[in-house]
Amino acid sequence: MRVVIIGGVAAGMSAASQARRARPDAEILVLEKTQDVSYGACGLPYKLPPDTDMDDLLVISAQRFREERNIDVRLGHEVLRIDPSRRQVGGRNAEGDFVLDYDKLILCTGARVWAPPIEGLDTLWGQGAYPLKTIDDGRTIKAAMAAHPPKHVLVIGAGYIGLEATENFREMGAEVTVVEALPEILPWLPETLRARVVAQAQAHGVEMLVGTRVEAIGRTGSGLAVETSDARLEADLVLVATGVRPESELASAAGLALGAAGSIAVDESLRTSNEHIYAAGDCADAIHAITGESVWFPLALRANRAGKLAGDNVFGHQRPAPPVLGTAVFKFFGLEVARTGLSSEEADAAGLDTASTEIVGATRAGYYPGGGKLSVWLLGERKTRKVLGCCMVGPEAAAHKIDTAAAAIHAGMTVEQIYDMDLAYAPPFGPSWSPLLIAASQLSKALD
């Protein structure tokens, strides 16, 4: 049996490795269009400083996959078409065109950078204006900065990657301006929690322009001129961090059904609308644990987990992929910013009658040195009293306490059940009444 996997990063290599464990006698073939497989893309912003090595993000080389796991990894193989009726894929490599048969196919094509319609961007792409999606993108940016260390960086987009990169550019000594087209950064955050992130940017000398569109970019001497909807800016380097889109064109052209945000629709076994084709990772959709609707969350845990499950299920196993909550966290200078479940806007769109509360608690006991304030926002449904969403912002504790909230939401716990949980306490880690428990107490009153 031949299993062909398109894409060799998180989901693809997880699928290949699990398929090999499941069927030692199967032919496992991975087609990767770049020269890199199996790397930690989430670490890209942290490898921008000159005293770091981008290649530290590489986990297992293609050669090791071939030698140690008997997986046929073919680099530089770009798949351009899928023929489900013949069970074939076709594409191009350095030697020319190729066609390969498959018994089962797993699409792990990931997500692609969305390049906004900015005049002049095409000319400067990779030569002054850069994406940061792949490890090769990271190498390109580091080489550019080594040749001409930037004094002023302009970041287009205030999502996770944009803000994480902003921190690292700033710590390298560059002045940074962040331009965000939306009226506010991080729209899923409640306003008061968002204000803490904005204040953190200001405290570290980051200029944040919201409700501002970049309309044109061009060279001016050795630098770049950036025309926005509000003003003309100058920069030495532009990072395009305007988000990603699911890489689903191959699937769509092959007649496969699509789900949320144009991602590839899959069932709980990761099977697409074609019985012989599966999809996993950032190219595929998932089911939301609260709404039961198709959602698209390009996050690392889902990619690795879905790849592993797809690698089993192509052989007839029925290991279902669990629903998701979109649990996520990122670091911005001295703040941890975390979320799980629904925002108020998402709950309203789902037709849920909700109430929310916000509290500010301590991250350590008052008499213990250090720490700071943890902002906690909780959302609950009036009818069932179940907690539906949580956001946290603070200098510590948010990254781990958000997991407690996620576990409770996955379990369908009511706000009273959360309040009754027996949580750990010690002075270096928080007050005896956890901020999450305090927030649950307040939400219980708001739901009445």
Q: How far is CA 285 from CA 9, 217, 272, in A?
A: 17, 34, 10
User: Per-residue pLDDT averaged across 239-255, rounded?
Assistant: 98
Judge whether residue 110 has pLDDT over 90.
Answer: yes
Give the model's pLDDT for residue 221: 83
| Each residue's pLDDT tens digit, 358-371 | 999 999 999 999 99
Give the model's pLDDT for residue 314: 98
Residues 258 and 203 in one domain: no
Is 321 a domain residue? no
pLDDT confidence band for 341 (50 / 70 / 90):
very high
Is 52 a domain residue? no
Query: Where does a domain end: 313, 340, 367?
Result: 313
Three-state SS for 320? coil
Is 319 a domain residue? no
| Each residue's pLDDT tens digit, 281-298 | 999 999 999 999 999 999
CATH number at residue 352: 3.50.50.60
| Each residue's pLDDT tens digit, 395-447 | 999 999 999 999 999 999 999 999 999 999 999 999 999 999 999 999 999 99
Instruction: Tell me which residue of 27, 37, 19, 36 sits closest to 100, measured CA to CA.
Output: 27
Residues 142 and 227 in one domain: yes
Query: Where does a domain end: 207, 242, 277?
Result: 242
pLDDT confidence band for 226 (50 / 70 / 90):
very high
Enclosing H/E stretch for 309: helix 300-313
Name the percent of the chain lying above pLDDT 90. Answer: 99
Residues 307 and 420 in one domain: no
User: Order of strands across the sheet with 214-220?
Assistant: 214-220, 223-228, 232-235
CB atoms within 10 A of CB 367: 6
pLDDT confidence band for 97 (50 / 70 / 90):
very high
Catalytic residue of the set 42, 108, 283, 391? 42
Is 273 a domain residue? yes
Is 197 a domain residue? yes
For 425-441, the DSSP string reads --GGG--SS-HHHHHHH
Would the pTM of this model clear 0.85, i.e. be above it? yes
CB atoms within 10 A of CB 384: 14
Query: Where does a domain end: 221, 242, 263?
Result: 242
pLDDT confidence band for 337 (50 / 70 / 90):
very high
User: Per-residue pLDDT averaged across 219-223, rounded?
Assistant: 89
CA separation for the pair 241, 133 (Å, rounded): 9
Is 47 a domain residue? no
Instruction: Tell me which residue of 11, 242, 4 sits closest to 109, measured CA to CA.
Output: 11
Name the percent of the chain lying above pLDDT 70. Answer: 100
CA separation for the pair 193, 286 (Å, rounded): 28
Could you confirm whether 108 is annotated as catalytic? Answer: no
Which residues are within 8 A (CB) of 417 and not within 5 positions of it... i.e. 6 or more apart?
408
Structural domains of the chain, count? 3
Residues 253 and 153 in one domain: no
Give the model's pLDDT for residue 222: 83
Residues 104 and 181 in one domain: no
Q: What is the domain range of residue 400?
A: 328-447
